[in-house]
Structure 1
Amino acid sequence: MDENALIDELIDREGGFVDNPDDRGGPTCWGITQATARRCGYDGPMRDLSRGRARLIYRRQYWTAPRLDAVARRAPQLAAELLDSGVNMGPAVAAAFLQRALNALNRGASDYPDLATDGRIGPRTLAALDAFLTTRGTRGEQVLIKAVDALQGERYLHLAERRPANETFLYGWLANRIG
């Protein structure tokens, strides 16, 4: 799966400039919050963030830095799911979902050791992913995606329950980001 195509599809889904008063992220463009754009060196109006600049931010901050490129070499569909989750919830949250799912699916640490749920994809997480995929075969990737989707859905419900303004987004999150 080509990372450029994934990022372009993501940008298309996220759309252009939005400034919804219920969104704690504030003004966004192409799904990138103003805070993220500023951290990545963009200081212009969010409305003017170019698609090309957004593509670079996504690649660096949401694909390469969290090591989804390494996940993609093993499980490309899982990497695509983690990219979408990471963009919406933060890369560390998406990585923690993967770690939690791998821990819950390791049959009492008999397939591979439990992981620290630290939200970082490093050598241990990748080794656990390799062991899981080797043990579980071709369906393993789809099962991990379902587990990540389940964790993501639970988090969306929790966010809406905790902050009623998030109910504005809940339907779209569930309709467009799960499964």
Structure 2
Amino acid sequence: MSSFDDAFTALIGNEGGYSNNPRDPGGETMWGITARVARANGYAGAMKALPLQTAKAIAKREYWDPLCLDQFDARIAFQMFDANYNGGPTVRWAQQASGVPVDGKISPRTIDAIRATDPVEFCLRFLAYRLKYLTGLRAWPTFGRGWSGRIASNMLKGGS
């Protein structure tokens, strides 16, 4: 993966299309975009009709750009993007994986530390912190198989 476009294509392979699982705290989603996020970004239509290009624009604005992912190795950028899209303390995991103090802020210090970390080492640590977090969620019995499968697929896509 070399860009946002490649990362988004890989991410959509994880997300799929429409979902409205009553057990999912995110509620109704299309392309992994929740109704709440879609509405906050000006989309007023039915979620089942959310165009992929609209989801892509929202994903870049909400989940890619705030983490400055264009500054990182593509493998790191993809893992952080997928985690941010899926939910969880992405910056904290990145800070733990790169060995800087954890404050949850994507600062120049954090960016420099991530960039200085070997991408394979970073991805392995990052995914370990992500998986440990997910296994502690109350929703793990319902969604854990899918989440662990997602992480395994990400590793096979070159994330480590």
TM-score (norm 2): 0.87
| Residue 120 of structure 1, aligned match among 105, 119, 124 | 105
User: Which whole-Å CA distance do the structure 2 matches of 1:151 and 1:166 have between them?
Assistant: 15
Given that 2:75 and 2:119 are in contact with CA atoms closer than 8 Å, whether structure 1 keeps it comes out as: yes
User: Which whole-Å CA distance do the structure 2 matches of 1:151 and 1:12 have between them?
Assistant: 22
- SS of the equivalent of 2:81 reads helix
User: Which residue number corresponds to residue 132 of structure 2?
Assistant: 154
User: Which residue number corresponds to residue 75 of structure 2?
Assistant: 77
Bigger mean CA deviation after superposition, 38-47 or 26-35: 38-47
User: Which whole-Å CA distance do the structure 2 matches of 1:65 and 1:45 have between them?
Assistant: 27
Given that 1:8 and 1:55 are in contact with CA atoms closer than 8 Å, whether structure 2 keeps it comes out as: no
1:141 pairs with 2:119: yes
TM-score (norm 1): 0.79
1:10 pairs with 2:11: yes
Given that 2:93 and 2:129 are in contact with CA atoms closer than 8 Å, whether structure 1 keeps it comes out as: yes
| Residue 98 of structure 1, aligned match among 94, 98, 119 | 94
The percent of aligned pairs where both chains have the same amino acid is 33
Bigger mean CA deviation after superposition, 49-58 or 32-41: 32-41
User: Which residue number corresponds to residue 168 of structure 1?
Assistant: 142
Task: Give the greater-gyration-radius structure (CA).
Answer: 1
User: How large is the RMSD of aligned CA atoms in angstroms?
Assistant: 1.5
1:36-83 deviation line (CA, Å, top 9, x unaligned): 112211122211111010000111111112211122xxx220111111
Structure 1 runs of 4+ with >6 Å offset: none
1:2-36 deviation line (CA, Å, top 9, x unaligned): 21121122123211110001101100000111111
Given that 2:114 and 2:122 are in contact with CA atoms closer than 8 Å, whether structure 1 keeps it comes out as: no
User: Which whole-Å CA distance do the structure 2 matches of 1:122 and 1:14 have between them?
Assistant: 29
Given that 1:29 and 1:49 are in contact with CA atoms closer than 8 Å, whether structure 2 keeps it comes out as: yes
